[in-house]
Structures are given as C-alpha cells and as structure tokens.
Amino acid sequence: MSNNELMRSLISPYRVSNGKKFHLESCDPGDKGEIENKEHAKDLLATGVARIAELQEKLYAQDEWSLLLVFQAMDAAGKDSAIKHVMSGINPQGCQVYSFKQPSSEDLDHDFLWRCQKCLPERGRIGIFNRSYYEETLVVRVHPEFLDKQKLAPKLVGKDIWEDRFEDINNFEKTLTRNGTIVRKFFLNVSKAEQKKRFLARLDDPTKNWKFSAADMGERAHWQEYMEAYEDMIRHTATERAPWYVVPADKKWFARLVVVAAVIDALESLDLEYPSVTNAMKKDNLAARKILEAEK
C-alpha cells in the first residue's frame, strides 16, 4: 500500500458522519491503526504536512473556499501540539487560529454562536478553533451554573435546551458549507489513565508547570459526565457535510497523523487549482517581460 493510500485509509475508522448509533465506549483511545511505529508515523507526517502546504497555497490563490477545523478534547489530550505539528508547514498568511476561553460579558450579551461567528475563516484561508461553540453543549452542560450567567429568559431554558443547541449548530454548519466553508471536527479521545500520566509529567517538569491548573483536577472529577456529553454531542451533530473524527489520542504521534490525513482529504475534495491566466493578463505579462529585459 502506498503512502497516499495508507493516509486515505487511515481516517475511515474514525470518521463519524451519522451519529445516531455512535457509542464512545467502542472507540479505543490507544488505537494506532496500521501504523507500524512512531518512526513510520513521523515519515508519513512530514509527507502529509508538505501536501497540506501545497494544497493550502492553491486554496489561498483560488480564493473561493475556506476550511474550518474544530478541535475539542479533555485537558492534556494534545490539541495544542496537534495544531502546531499539523500546521507547521503552511503559510501563516493563510491560517487563522482562535482559542476560546471563558466568554466575556460582551459574549454573554449575545447568542452562544456569536463569538465564534466573528472568527470564521475568510475565503482562501484555513481557520482553526481550539475549542469552539461546542463548549456550549459540553462545559455548560456539565456545569449548569454557567448557563445561569447567560441571561436567557427562563422560558428558553427548558429540558430541550441541548437538543435545541444541537439543532442550531447543525443549521449553522449547514449554512457554512452552503457558502463555501468546509467544516471538519476533531474530538481528541484521550483515556483517563493517559490524562493522569500527562498531568503528572507536567507537575514533574518545571518547564511545564505553567500548563497545569488546579481547575484541571476539578474538571477531571467530572470525567464520566463529560464522556456522556461528548457522546451525545457527536450523536446529534455528526453529519455528512460536517463530520466528526474521533481521534485516538493516547499516542500523540498517531493523533497528529489522523488529523493530517483528514485535512488532506478535505482539501483534496475541493479540486483546487491555481487561477487561470486570461489572454489580457498574458499580454500584460509579455509587455512587462520586455520592459524588464530591456533594462540595463
């Protein structure tokens, strides 16, 4: 099997485009597919990053499509490092990265999609959301007190609020795809045991102490609630137009490779080409060449 064929086959077990029968417990965070070892993955990753750079240049030049990559995960699952490695070879002019923390008072005076809508990628660019509007069906669901701060009229906060938000998100992503923004979503699926290992590594390494927060332990205490929320989220929002990739994340090198393969697949689906040169442009170029060649 060639590297290209392997990259294409790599993502298929982890793509969820119809979530009705999705069960998170059937997804192994430690899976590494058919990749032989870390070195094999490293070679494939380098090839994949180079391919993304080539496709991104065409995306930017063509200026018709945009690509939105959404990353969701528990703490220490490797979102930051995945983004760093996958996007390492692309032109920064064509990439926009946003990390969404706690909403501001201004954010809370708008609907839950507003702050992300402001950050959507322009045509010709790749946009990356490190966490996103999906937090409104995850952390807000696990911590209902956050919902109380959103100033919603009591009659709008009923038992169907999560289903309503899933519907809003599906409609939002449908609108994006109908207007030229391709949406791909990644849940980096790390195990609780691996998260513990990574937390301890952060505590042991003085250069990584800053990455650890006492709040991380608070969220870890709600692990099962988060897993249920993630499962429900994927079940309701995995669609053919905006699929989820449930990426095994216990091995960071494998998670990065799956993300690379999915990004390549999304960009290649667009049949990107450099803009064609019109006869008038060719004439202007020829005149410019003559002027340049005549210079002493």
Per-residue pLDDT, 4: 66
SS3 state of residue 244: strand
SS3 state of residue 286: helix
Per-residue pLDDT, 269: 94
Per-residue pLDDT, 209: 86
Per-residue pLDDT, 134: 98
Per-residue pLDDT, 24: 97
* Unique residue bearing structure tokens 């090198």: 253
For residue range 210-265, what is the model confidence (pLDDT) as tens digits?
888 888 899 999 999 999 999 999 999 999 999 999 999 999 999 999 999 999 99
Name the average pLDDT for the chain: 93
- pTM exceeding the 0.75 threshold for the entire prediction: yes
204's enclosing H/E stretch is helix 192-204
Per-residue pLDDT, 228: 98
Per-residue pLDDT, 145: 93
Per-residue pLDDT, 23: 97
Per-residue pLDDT, 221: 95
| Tally of CB atoms within 10 A around 169 | 22
Per-residue pLDDT, 129: 97
C-alpha 116/C-alpha 99 separation (Å) is: 10
Per-residue pLDDT, 164: 97
Evaluated on CA atoms 81, 83, 86, 92, the torsion sign reads negative
Per-residue pLDDT, 34: 83
Measured in Å, how far apart are the chain's first and last C-alpha atoms? 55
C-alpha 113/C-alpha 159 separation (Å) is: 20
Per-residue pLDDT, 9: 83
pLDDT < 50: residue spans in the chain: none
Amino acid at 123: R
| 151: alpha, beta or left? (left if phi > 0; alpha if psi -120 to 50) | left
